[in-house]
Chain A
Amino acid sequence: NAGVTQTPKFRVLKTGQSMTLLCAQDMNHEYMYWYRQDPGMGLRLIHYSVGEGTTAKGEVPDGYNVSRLKKQNFLLGLESAAPSQTSVYFCASSYGGSSQPQHFGDGTRLSIL
């Protein structure tokens, strides 16, 4: 049982390049989330989805886009990467939204030069 799988694990980009981070879950969860984790800042919600075909903005959505075309996948896109987007990105999923624990992947470490 893989749980939440994130691809890639590491990536280095140049400013202005684009890329997509992939999150896949095999737990049949309805809700999926993207967070970023920065030193001294804690985990902050970027975007989330409450079901296939839906997306919503979180706390820090600027510069990111997301898509949830299939229930098991949640994609995070950076259209024009900036050094401020250097971070560790975590995907999570949960069975529901209210009071349900979120289960996390092991993260993607992204550096923007």
Chain B
Amino acid sequence: EDQVTQSPEALRLQEGESSSLNCSYTVSGLRGLFWYRQDPGKGPEFLFTLYSAGEEKEKERLKATLTKKESFLHITAPKPEDSATYLCAVQAAQGAQKLVFGQGTRLTINP
């Protein structure tokens, strides 16, 4: 069964304090790994898709990386507006319409 586990569940950082969020996954043939950001009361907002081990994607203060077993979302010098829940999801090669989501990491950046 495809599974996604995110850690930590919650993370508090000071503004400017860099850190990483983890997404561990098991899937029968990875077609894609997706990162989303979700603000309170809103739907998930797409950030990145990663397709193969070794791939990296960047957007402003965020960088996503992928290995065969996990993905990291690195946050460099975060600002309070980066506070949100970050969701990771995988898409298997079979049943490609389905995304399997992790439970998310709730990130709080204190000014």
Contact = CB atoms under 8 A, between A and B. Distances in A.
Query: Which has the most chain A C-beta neighbours within 10 Å: B4, B97, B98?
Result: B97
Q: How large is the interface on B (under 10, 10 to 19, 20 to 34, 35 or more residues)?
A: 20 to 34
Contacts of A41: 103
Given A99-B49, A99-B91, A101-B49, A106 B99 contact: no
A105 interface: yes
A104 B45 contact: yes
Interface of B: 4, 31-32, 34, 36, 41-46, 49, 51, 87, 89, 91, 96-99, 101-104
Q: Taking chain B's interface residues, is the majority helix, strand, or loop, or is none over half, making it mixed?
A: strand
Interface in A52-109: 56, 58-59, 90, 92, 97-99, 101-107
A104 to B, nearest CB: 3
15 contacts: A42-B4, A43-B44, A43-B89, A43-B99, A45-B98, A48-B97, A48-B98, A98-B31, A99-B31, A99-B49, A99-B91, A101-B34, A101-B46, A106-B41, A106-B43
A34 interface: no
B35 to A, nearest CB: 10
Contact of A97 (B34, B43, B46, B96): B96
B32 A99 contact: yes
B43 A42 contact: no
A24 interface: no
A50 interface: yes
Contacts of A92: 43
Given A42-B87, A42-B102, A101-B46, 5 more contacts: A33-B97, A43-B89, A44-B101, A92-B43, A101-B49
